[in-house]
Structure 1
């Protein structure tokens, strides 16, 4: 294992310290926690998200005006504890309540629910939106139902814009529930991720192998085969997304190609180009695009494709400027 770290057990604490030290105009650390909060003043519902570390820039990179109010950094690939989530809610509540954006993993769901109960005992109104955009497999390691993956970033962006407009906790929760149904993702992997305290990849692929549907913690996908060209991979992935959405010519979608951490941008742009060509051949209007590393898996090589069904309001919210370090 080759990593630029000190002690493996200290990676999250040192990462958080380096993160807020690098961007003090954007972020601050809530004392005695692994919570990262926005530094600016705001007067709206607080948006709180988080999860296990190792997916950077998610979620701390999306804290700031127009997106999240706070992100809770759990240990690597491990849900943050309820008390840490509760501290994030308390630190950012402006008297208007909080909305939690939660990826669908059993530990996250349980711990965010417990934090919600703790906050409600302090008379803080809290609701949650559960993101389960990964259509590759129905049930997987750590989940009941579909996993929450890169589409979570789009939920941060759209709900962050609505919160900035002054929407209430309930309005955000209702909008978010409908929004998640229109966001779907499929990932592929070329290599596994190495958790620092484990010291070896969570799974291995031969030099000429790839796997469809791998999760952001290395959870199993739905098929392993010899590696294909970018255009062939795109055809497989877009085919699964088309079957799920059932789109018609003239429909409007956003395309988000996300790197898993170790795939060069050169390859992500090639992959995006192939995905976009297939959509346009079906008469789909591509009204929003995003390419880069946003929801990673440590040093995994691979990428995911997220499609979001769009209307004018969603396009507007996705394109609004924000003050975060990663969007």
Structure 2
């Protein structure tokens, strides 16, 4: 194992310290319990968005804390859910008095711990709502979930709902919008290499040089099948076809197309895949009006790619186009 770390047990703490130094204008980092909040939180009169999950998926979620996206994020240990006390304290720290939305990826630990934190926050008088993201079409159940996994649509929900919350949308509208984004988004990913968890010190699974794992999860969970490596155009087709069939997407739909790297994939390769994915969308009569390419929801050092397609409506497009200023995502005024 070759990693730029000091000791596995200090990785998350030292990374949080680094984030606090690097982005002091945007965020503040709380310790014991650990959470990241936007520097100006709480913002009175604004619906607050809180998310979180195991570390190792950076920039998800802490890199998306800031104006126009999340108000707080709770980092657990690598590939391990954060605890209810982290989620509760983060919720209290960013509550602006008009409601809090928890955006939760569908992993069993995340769901259970966010539910507990929400109950505790409600006992303290905070109006907490939760939406579970489950957009992965690869498998119905996995090592970490009951039902579909929450993957790329989480980034889109945090951005779109964050934009509308920043614009002053009431909590019911933000919650309904988050549910709509989850319902209209589908994702699929694959791995070219395994990832190496610092505490384990070795790859999480074995994959031959000429193999790929199709339908992989963000923790290295097995996918639909293991197969021989294919060219990028064929890989894009294999990912896009089940995505487009599952919703299903229809000719004339306006979509957001998101090609995501898994942590060890060069951007040049992601653009090759994106080129093919947009061509496939056009072949199906879909109009791609919003795009995102890059490594935004990763699996440590895994080489691989995921694709997410979201059927847009006017409110989603407005939330997506709204200004955002976070450590990992920035555009607009």
TM-score where L is the length of structure 1: 0.98
| Partner in structure 2 of residue 71 of structure 1 | 73
Matched, 1:177 2:179: yes
Q: Say whether the 8 Å CA contact 1:27–1:63 is kept in structure 2.
A: yes
**Which residue of the partner structure matches residue 196 of structure 2?**
194
Matches within 5 A, 1:48-197: 48-197=50-199
Does the 8 Å CA contact 1:100/1:126 hold for their aligned counterparts? yes
> How far apart are residue 31 of structure 1 and its match?
4.1
SS in 1 for 2:91: helix
State the 1:286 CA deviation: 0.5
CA distance in 2, matches of 1:148, 1:239: 19
Stretch deviating more after TM superposition (129-138 or 317-326): 317-326
Q: Supply the RMSD in Å over aligned alpha carbons.
A: 1.0
Range 269-278 or range 173-182, more displaced: 173-182
2: CA distance between counterparts of 1:248 and 1:81? 41
- Which position in structure 2 is the counterpart of 1:301? 303
User: Are the aligned partners of 1:188 and 1:213 in contact in 2 as well (CA < 8 Å)?
Assistant: yes
How many residues are paired up? 327
2:187 touches 2:306 (CA, 8 Å); kept in 1? yes
Deviation at 1:174, TM superposition (A): 2.1
* Post-superposition CA distance 1:263-290 (Å, at most 9, x none): 1000000000001011111221001110
> Gaps (5+ residues) in structure 2?
none
In the alignment, what sits opposite 2:8?
Answer: 8
Following TM superposition, by how much is the alpha carbon of 1:201 offset from its aligned partner in structure 2, in angstroms? Answer: 1.0
> CA deviation digits over 1:222-255, x for unaligned, max 9?
0111100011111111111121122222111110
Q: Give the alignment of 1:26-37 within 5 angstroms.
A: 26-37=26-37
Cα deviation, 1:129-173, whole Å, max 9, x if unaligned, reads: 100011100111110000001210000001101211222333322
**Cα distance per residue 1:291-327 (max 9 Å; x no partner):** 0010000000101000000122222221222111111
2:53/2:76 contact within 8 Å kept: yes
- Native 8 Å contact 2:257 2:290 kept in 1: yes
Q: List runs of 5+ in structure 1 lacking aligned partners.
A: none
Q: What's the CA shift for 1:123?
A: 0.5
Tell me if the contact between 1:125 and 1:169 (Cα under 8 Å) persists in the aligned partners.
no
- Asked if the contact 1:48/1:88 (under 8 Å) is kept, the reply is yes
Shift of 1:261: 0.2
For 1:318 and 1:251, how far apart are their aligned partners in 2? 17
Q: How far apart, in 2, do the equivalents of 1:147 and 1:236 lie? A: 19
The 1-side partners of 2:288 and 2:109 are apart by 35
Measure how far apart 1:211 and its partner are.
1.1
SS at match of 1:47: strand
